[in-house]
């Protein structure tokens, strides 16, 4: 279906991680590289796709975030309180966190992203945080684009199957970064060992397992549980080709499984990363809804990365983080395919 | 080492689940039955072992809880508030929850349990919530007892290895019932897909994987990840031979993975079970420490079970609960060994 040699996906991590080099090299090695385009504007997507295509003639994917259909509700008082709070960190970093009650219009962004994805006739389009509309799926299908949805429990997988997606990524609770959950948050925290077979029992659609998979052992386990393919994020983060900041890579190389934790402090949506000062200090605070909280913390995360200050960066990582290595895509893919 | 045919352990679930029939039948089928003796007094343990031995000449295990070395601290006010709160449920059930500031002396209980285990020269002794003392291990070893510890992250596994246990159960976050964690609670919530290979990389001791394993797929996955054996709890709960109340079995047979949730409301220690009214309503309350909270809720749980009222029972279950079947130990073991 995908015209790839090995059913190994490089996860579409957002925020500049999935460089054209990371994606193209994964695809050139026989896997499927994926662009984490959730926060990217159409021009950036267009440029990234152009670069990917200049580096590979193999298939690749583009991932988009389905925007919340509901309006993002928040209280002016909460917004002010959060801005004051964040400005304490801003002060430490020498920036002012702007008081913004303008939620970026993610619905319009998504529609523009989609247009670009359709225009570019990408080989694979994957979606997180929901199910694309029937019309969108029809248009993508006309282009021959393979459509991937993300589920974190059986109910979501069944809904994706009914919607007609071609592949379902089953994201176990071990996974780093945002939970793909589009139903109640607490319903989407199932470990891969339990999630994969239960999804496999429930749907006919091929399953790609994600969450905690780091090497051939994880791949064999996922296949035994009923997956047809695997998606790895954390293992690709420390590749030379990844766009992760050096300090982020260095932190991952020195982190252990129990240091990862769930937080909503960076974006307003539950995500797993390495616990740091920001996460710990914000643990008692109620974050504003996604994506408003994400917009509010953007300047802090950006400045912290510039200053190589991991205390205020979103260091997304899965629970398999102890197994990361300083490597290249070629070396990683070789190990994933041939074993050590 | 264990003199068993298949490396399949029936988990030592406490609270009357692990009947002599469940244990002996598991061992007779070539696995290892385990008595959940954490809350049992020495006389009960003696009687259970006698019955097990009358039903099998195969090896079996006895599991004990390592008591917290620290005193159980609590505030009189908190105790009163919790008793008032619990009495609201007591009233619904037609019982009075006694105001008890007498924490059962679990340290003395443990020592008496140990004496019994030593006297009975049991084939296998397993421990949860900590590491047995060196002297205890020496005495057990003199008896030829195989010693098993429980770890929920790499750090705990390394400490167990140093202590000299023979086998380490690696309990993934998918597991039902209490977390075996003996370090910081939040450090012990690693999914099996990530936990098993990282523990396998860190220790030489054989690993038995627990958490989310329900059938041959889970067994194959655990082995691929680096485990030497597997331990299943939830899958055994719905066996005819299990001591689980009929209403508990019935609830499990109708539950799904996303209905399981972590709670401290029943015992004061984090455990995974089917979410019910008690868990949901108590979610905002701070429980008293284990085992005081457990003692306080005992009468409620007992009466609820008598009344077949699942809203107030501790319905421990793992995230693989959608895969449970109404079965017998013989049938389950056959499926685990031979596949469906």
Task: Give domain status of residue B2, yes or no.
Answer: no
Of B172, B173, B198, the CB nearest to A320: B198
Q: How far is CA A187 from CA A152, A180, B275, B319, in A?
A: 8, 11, 11, 11
* C-beta neighbour count of B183 within 10 angstroms: 15
Whether A218 sits inside 8 A of B193 (CB atoms) is yes
A67 occurs within a structural domain = yes
Tokens of B233: 């709890």
Tell whether the torsion through CA atoms of A226, A230, A235 and A237 is positive or negative.
negative
For residue A282, tell me if it sits in a domain. yes
Of B190, B201, B258, the CB nearest to A319: B190
Domain at B303, CATH number: 3.20.20.70
The 10s digit of each residue's pLDDT in A247-298 is 999 999 999 999 999 999 999 999 999 999 999 999 999 999 898 899 999 9
pLDDT digits (tens, 9 = 90+) for A219-234: 999 999 999 999 999 9
Domain extent, residue B282, equals 8-338
Q: Which residue in B49, B273, B47, B43 sits closest to B33, CA to CA?
A: B49
CA-to-CA distance for A154 and A196, rounded, in angstroms? 9
Q: Is residue B219 part of a domain?
A: yes
Is B87 an interface residue toward A (CB < 8 Å)? Answer: no
* Set of chain B residues whose Cβ sits within 8 Å of the Cβ of A270: none
Alpha-carbon span B213 to B320, nearest angstrom: 7
Q: Is A1 among the domain residues?
A: no
Contacts of A172 in chain B (CB under 8 A): 191, 193
Place of tokens 């579409």: A12
- The count of residues in chain B is 340
What pLDDT score was predicted for residue B102?
A: 66
* C-beta of residue B337 within 8 angstroms of C-beta of residue B272: no
Residue A37 lies inside a defined structural domain of this protein: yes
Per-residue pLDDT tens, chain B, 340 aa: give them. Answer: 999 999 999 999 998 999 999 999 999 999 999 999 999 999 999 999 999 999 999 999 999 999 986 667 778 898 999 999 999 999 999 999 987 756 668 889 999 999 999 999 999 999 999 999 999 999 999 999 999 999 999 999 999 999 999 999 999 999 999 999 999 999 999 999 999 999 999 999 999 999 999 999 999 999 999 999 999 999 999 999 999 999 999 999 999 999 999 999 999 999 999 999 999 999 999 999 898 899 999 999 999 999 999 999 999 999 999 999 999 999 999 999 998 6
Burial of A77 (0-12, 13-18, 19+ CB in 10 A): exposed
Q: Is A134 part of any domain?
A: yes
Which residues of B, range 229-288, sit inside 8 Å of A by Cβ? 256-258, 261
Whole-model pTM over 0.95: yes
Give chain B positions within 8 Å (CB) of A184.
258
Number of structural domains, chain B? 1
Burial A144-177 (b: 16+ CB within 10 A, else e): ebbbbbbbbbbbbbbbbbebebbbbbbbbbbbbb
């Amino acid at each position: 279906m995908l015209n790839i040699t090995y059913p190994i996906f490089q996860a579409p991590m957002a925020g500049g991680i999935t460089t054209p080099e990371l994606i193209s090299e994964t695809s050139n090695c026989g896997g499927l590289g994926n662009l984490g385009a959730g926060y990217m504007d159409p021009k950036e997507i267009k440029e990234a796709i152009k670069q990917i295509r200049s580096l590979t003639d193999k298939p690749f994917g583009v991932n988009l975030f389905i925007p919340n259909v509901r309006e993002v509700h928040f209280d002016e008082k909460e917004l002010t309180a959060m801005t004051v709070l964040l400005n304490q960190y801003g002060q430490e970093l020498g920036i002012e966190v702007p008081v913004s009650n303008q939620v970026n219009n993610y619905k319009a962004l998504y529609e523009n992203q989609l247009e670009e994805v359709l225009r570019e006739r990408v080989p694979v389009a994957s979606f997180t945080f929901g199910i694309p509309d029937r019309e969108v799926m029809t248009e993508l299908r006309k282009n021959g684009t393979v459509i991937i949805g993300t589920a974190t429990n059986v109910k979501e997988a069944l809904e994706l199957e009914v919607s007609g997606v071609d592949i379902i990524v089953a994201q176990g609770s071990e996974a780093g970064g945002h939970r793909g959950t589009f139903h109640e948050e607490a319903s989407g925290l199932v470990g891969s060992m339990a999630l994969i077979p239960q999804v496999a029992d429930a749907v006919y659609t091929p399953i790609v397992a994600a969450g905690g998979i780091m090497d051939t052992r994880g791949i064999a386990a996922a296949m035994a549980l009923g997956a047809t393919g695997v998606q790895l994020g954390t293992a690709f983060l420390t590749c030379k080709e990844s766009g992760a900041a050096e300090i982020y890579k260095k932190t991952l190389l020195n982190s252990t499984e129990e240091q990862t934790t769930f937080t909503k402090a960076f974006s307003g949506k539950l995500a797993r990363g390495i616990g740091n000062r920001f996460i710990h200090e914000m643990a008692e605070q109620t974050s504003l809804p996604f994506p408003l909280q994400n917009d509010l913390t953007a300047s802090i995360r950006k400045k912290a990365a510039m200053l190589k200050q991991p205390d205020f960066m979103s260091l997304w990582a899965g629970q398999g983080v102890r197994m990361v290595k300083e490597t290249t895509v070629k070396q990683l893919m070789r190990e994933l395919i041939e074993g050590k």
